[in-house]
Structure 1
Amino acid sequence: MQKLSSYFTVYLFASVKFALAPPTGVALGLSEWEIILCTVAGMSTTAFLIPLLGEKLFAYLRKKRLQKGKKIKIFSPRKRMIVKIWQKFSIWGIAFLTPVLFSPIVGCAIAVSFGVPRPKILLAMAISALFWAFLMTLGSEWIAHWWH
């Protein structure tokens, strides 16, 4: 039961804030492959769900924001940076930077906002998750070993 709880914790972190998942997996005593599998599964789940909710979710959030009287900025430094990344690298750049710069939810939302088809979002995010999960798991284990 404890192992299942550890898997779910890493999975949940990966689906919301990717960078927390590998160090958490190391701290919970999971093996490299368990951490990588749970991390990729977590981000892939988000990459599957966000495009499904897509337009309806954005419309709802926009409506709520406007009801509260908040302005919606069309141009901000962050939005300009996202557009530059998109123009240079398309979905692959967004997917590559999602685990380290954005959260999986934000990265998928960006992809949806640019009209990327769901299968392409899922593929790009899964490949990115695999790369970063491997790298971050090894890095987390190295830091944990060095720390002790």
Structure 2
Amino acid sequence: MPVILKYLTVYALSALKIIFGPTLGLAYGFSVLETTLLSLLGMMSTVYLLTYFGPEIRNLSLRLFKSKKKRKNFTPKRRRLVRIWTKYGVAGIAFFTPILLSPIGGAILANAFGGKRSEIIRWMWLFGAVWAFILTLLTRYAGWLLEDFGVI
């Protein structure tokens, strides 16, 4: 497989879930720096896309998949997300996005609760970089731990 295709694969999978980037990047033999950068850029592409085009995407999906049945307003999962938002704000959502949420989930959540675009982007860059580096190092030097916990 050509190197550019490997880069694009790591980048694209990191846009969905950041842990895919370090595992696949290191499996391809990329350096820690290359893997961290590709993982971070993949995550941030999703965050930028959903932060700047989120309302349009939401309106389109509502028109296409409009449901007739009424959903419950407060479920245990929604209550937990509201608790995270009220306690930690955008910084908390950005911190938990790479490890618990996906870039898609974190960006949607931060936008849905009304976070400012500049604040969302700033915190996601910061915590995305930190977690991409940590996850890459963990995958490189402690991969056996990740296998024991069932992450890989």
How high is the TM-score relative to the length of structure 1? 0.89
Aligned mates of 2:65, 2:76 — CA distance in 1: 20
2:34 is aligned to: 34
Deviation of the 1:54 alpha carbon: 1.6
The aligned runs of 1:1-148 (5 Å cut-off) are 2-67=2-67, 69-144=68-143
CA distance in 1, matches of 2:28, 2:71: 41
Alignment deviations for residues 82-110 of structure 1 (CA, whole Å, 9 cap, x no partner): 11111111001101111111110110011
Number of corresponding residues: 146
Task: Using the TM superposition, give the Cα deviation of residue 47 of structure 1 relative to its aligned residue in structure 2, in angstroms.
Answer: 1.3
Give 1:50's aligned amino acid.
L
C-alpha distance 33-70 of structure 1, shift in aligned 2 (>3 A): farther
How much does 1:70 deviate? 4.6
Cα contact 1:54–1:109 (8 A) shared by 2: yes
SS in 1 for 2:19: helix
Query: What SS does structure 1 have at the residue aligned with 2:34?
Result: helix
Deviation at 1:61, TM superposition (A): 2.4
CA RMSD of aligned residues (A): 1.9
Deviation at 1:139, TM superposition (A): 0.7
Q: Return the alpha-carbon distance in structure 2 between the equivalents of residues 70 and 28 of structure 1.
A: 47
Shift of 1:118: 1.5
Cα displacement string for residues 46-95 of structure 1 (whole angstroms, at most 9, x for unaligned residues) = 1111011122222232343434x354332122211111111111001101
Of 8-17 and 89-98, more deviation after overlay is shown by 8-17
* Alpha-carbon distance between aligned partners in 1 of 2:2 and 2:29, rounded to the nearest angstrom: 11
Identity of aligned residues (%): 34
Secondary structure, aligned partner of 1:18 = coil
Aligned residue identity for 1:90: G
SS of 2:66's partner is helix
Alignment gaps of 5+ in structure 2 = 148-152
CA contact (8 A) 1:43 1:126 kept: no
